[in-house]
Structure 1
Amino acid sequence: MTKLTVEETNLLSIYKTGSRQGLIVAMNAALPFMDGEMRDFAARTLAKVERMGEAEFAVLPIYAADEA
């Protein structure tokens, strides 16, 4: 199982769309607008999500940012 940090989970909560593929699309669209360190962090986090299967992603404790 892929381990995510609190920071990675917080980042994913911003882009959670209800599906793994939707999150990947949303984060990829945002990457060009991020500054250096943030872009690197987001790209590393995105790579973790891309390596996950649907079942693993489905059980992650990630909530849409407006639900918190």
Structure 2
Amino acid sequence: MSNFTFDEINLMCIYNTGTRAGLMQALTDMRGQLEPDEAELLELTDSALRKLGRITDEQFAELELVPDFD
């Protein structure tokens, strides 16, 4: 399974819809709203989307999407 970074997990927690496909759509929608000066968030979103695209729905269901904003 792809190793998600701490920041990717937190981002996925914010946009998690409960399914891999739903999360990917939510991230894609959010990505379309980013401004040019949000390059770091764009890169983070693209990285998470690539990794989500490489895992199965079963693997997604095993992820512990618990935010850690400390």
TM-score range, shorter chain: 0.7 to 0.9
- Which structure shows the bigger proportion of residues in helix conformation? 1
Give aligned pairs, total. Answer: 64
Aligned to 1:54: 57
Q: TM-score, normalised by structure 2?
A: 0.82
Q: CA–CA distance in 1 between the matches of 2:46 and 2:56? A: 18
Unpaired runs of 5+ residues, structure 1, are none
Gapped runs of 5+ residues in structure 2? Answer: none
Counting aligned pairs with the same residue, the percent is 31
Task: Identify the residue that residue 38 of structure 1 maps to in structure 2.
Answer: 41
Whole-angstrom distance in 1 between the partners of 2:21 and 2:48:
14
Q: TM-score, normalised by structure 1?
A: 0.85
Q: Distance in 2 between matches of 1:44 and 1:7?
A: 10
Runs of 4+ in 1 over 4 A off after TM superposition: none
CA distance in 2, matches of 1:3, 1:40: 16
Opposite residue 39 of structure 2, the aligned amino acid is G
